[in-house]
Structure formats: C-alpha cells, structure tokens
Structure 1
Amino acid sequence: MKLYDIAHSRAGDKGNTLTLSLIPYKEEDYAFLCREITEERVAAHLKDIVAGSITRYELPGISSLLFVCEQALLTGVTTSLAIDAHGKTLSYALLEMQIG
C-alpha cells in the first residue's frame, strides 16, 4: 500500500525550507501515521531531495503531521533554476512512500 491510499499532502516553502503536511482521509488513521511515518522514514524516502534535517510536528487537534525539511529547494525559490522551485510536487513524492 502507498501512503496516498490513506492520506493526502500539501507542500509549502520558505527560502530553502520545504514543509509537507500529511493528513489522513480518515481521522482514525492518524495514530497509524504517527506510529509509522517517522522523521527517519521520511528522510530515507526523500534522501535524494532533502539535504538537511527533517523535523516532524504532530498536530492532534487537526489529525495531521507536518514535516519541516531543511535544504530541500536547491538554495531557495528566488535563487534556484529548478523547474519546481517551490517544491509543490514534492507532496506527491512523499505520498509515494510504501507503507503497511
């Protein structure tokens, strides 16, 4: 099963920092995501994209996780020649993670 089977994601950016939200379709899957989708697993999955640290924040009030990924946007939006300088498609990269 892929992560996109039970959750959706949205990407944001600030400079060279990428944020990835992870929201389960069903609230009851939040505990599973907290248990299974660790900083280490996300770092391993995005190892070719994120050069810096990844910090996970749990948001139980809205049943969501937020991953803050440092050094992920090739020096930042305004200075990068990357096709996806804002990293918006990276939410799809996260959702490709194999789970379960």
Structure 2
Amino acid sequence: MKLWDLAHSRTGDKGNISNISLIAYDPKDYELLKEKVTPERVKEHFKGMVKGEVVRYELPNIHALNFVMYAALGGGVTRSLSVDMHGKGLSSYLLDMEI
C-alpha cells in the first residue's frame, strides 16, 4: 500500500532544510503511520537526495507526523541547481512510499 492511500502531505523549506508533513485522512490510521514511517525509512526513501539527518515530530492531536530533513535541497533556493529548488515535489515523492 502507498502512503497516498492513508494520508496527504505538505512541504515547506528554509534554506537547505525540507519540512514535510504527513497527515492521516482517518485518525485510526495514525498509529500505523507512526509504526511504518520512521525517520530511517524516510531517509532511505530519499536516498541520494537527503544528505543530512531526518528528524520526526509527532503531532497526535492532528494525527500527523512532521519530518525535518537536513541538507535536502542542494544547498537551498539561492544555491541549488535543482528544477524544484523549494522541494515542493518532495511531498508527492513521500506519498509514493510503499508501506
């Protein structure tokens, strides 16, 4: 099953840091997301893109996880040669993860 079956996502950025939220459509799926979508799995999923640490924050009141990915944007908006300098497409890529 793909994450997009259980959740939606939003992405933000600050410098070379990408911030991705993963929000369960149904609150009953939040525990499954917590179990399956670990910082290690996210780092592996973004292998080659995310050079730094991945930190996960849990937001149980809104059934969401927030992943902060360091060294993820090729140096940041003003330095990156990437077509998606802000990393807005990273949320779609996360939702493509198989769990």
TM normalised by structure 2 equals 0.97
Partner in structure 2 of residue 3 of structure 1: 3
Residue 65 of structure 1, CA deviation: 0.2
Name 1:15's counterpart in structure 2. 15
Number of paired residues?
99
Aligned to 2:25: 25
Q: How large is the Cα RMSD of the aligned pairs?
A: 0.7
Q: Structure 2 unaligned runs (5+)?
A: none
Q: Distance in 1 between matches of 2:13 and 2:58?
A: 19
Q: AA paired with 1:76?
A: G
- What fraction of aligned residue pairs are identical, expressed as a percent? 55
Match of 1:42, SS state, is helix
Question: Offset of 1:49 from its aligned partner?
Answer: 1.2
Aligned to 2:39: 39
The answer for unaligned runs of 5 or more in structure 1 is none
Q: 1:73 aligned to 2:94?
A: no
